[in-house]
Amino acid sequence: MTDHYIGMIKGSILSQVVDIQIVDITHYIEPHNIVQAAYILKNCYHDFPSGSIHIVSVNNRSIANSAILLCKHQEHYFIVPDNGILSLMLEEVPFQTVKISIDQKDQFIIKNLYATIVRHLHEKGALEEIGQTALDIEQRIMLRPVVTASQIRGSVIYIDHYENVIVNIQRSLFEEIGLGRSFQISFKRHEPITHLSTYYYDVPIGEVLCLFNSAQFLEIAVNMGKAAKLLGLSIDDTIQIDFKRL
């Protein structure tokens, strides 16, 4: 966070709602990368208290189209652009979703709109009082693994601050297809990995490992190292798991 925009938004919110706590999740999303933003919020919002309000300000091109989305899901509120991030994050559009019209003449629209919505929710206002039921929002589908009886082909969807590599293969799918069979995890020209670790330190420093992270996604890492850089892995690269044939 190196500019004044976040400060403007926080200041505007605190000016309208003084008794509120603001928590930063991250300001390091790649520009316009809604897949990255969806992954991060999807895997942490449920750790916040019920009634929390989550603001996502990534790829705000929908603001030019005069609307922003407000939804309630599992007792959490989300204020997001109408750019597909809602469907990526929650996989289905919540029943309680409204579109909030934007005054294009407002020069400070994001700052003022976020503060107005937060104040409305803080005062226990209903969603329908501040917006119209959303009937046609933009949808995006997260790239899903390709699956056969003995193989899963996934893709890199996120690289974290430590350059650990996150793959769109979840533990449940791995167990469903694997059925306890031996396996090989292959990527690039690296020697296949044939077992899963529980902790990063299960292997010597500098060694490559695979584990399922706290969000239950497959993760490729290097103990005390930067996996993405060392292994030459990037977003959308293919990761393949081959199981011993039945």
Q: Give the model's pLDDT for residue 141.
A: 79
Residue 167 has phi, psi (to 5 degrees) of -115, 150
Mean predicted confidence (pLDDT) in 182-204: 95
Q: Which of 6-20, 89-103, 148-162, 195-209 has the lowest mean pLDDT?
A: 89-103
Question: 111 pLDDT exceeds 90?
Answer: no
Mean predicted confidence (pLDDT) in 174-190: 95
Question: 242 pLDDT exceeds 60?
Answer: yes
Of the pLDDT bands very low, low, confident and very high (cuts 50, 70, 90), residue 5 is confident
SS3 39: helix
Q: Give the model's pLDDT for residue 104.
A: 63
pLDDT tens for each residue of 119-178: 999 999 999 999 999 888 888 877 899 999 999 999 999 999 999 999 999 999 999 999
Angle subtended by helix axes 109-122 and 5-16, to nearest 10:
30
Q: Which of 231, 226, 241 is nearest to 169 (CA)?
A: 241
The structural domains of the chain, ordered by start, are: 5-133 (3.40.50.10790), 146-243 (2.40.30.90)
CB 217 within 8 A of CB 210: no
184/199 Cα distance (integer angstroms) = 19
Residue 167: which residues within 8 A CB-CB, separation 6 or more?
154, 155, 156, 157, 217, 218, 219, 220, 239
- Bridge-partner residues for 133, per DSSP? 98
CB 197 within 8 A of CB 203: yes
Mean predicted confidence (pLDDT) in 89-104: 80
Q: Give the model's pLDDT for residue 106.
A: 60
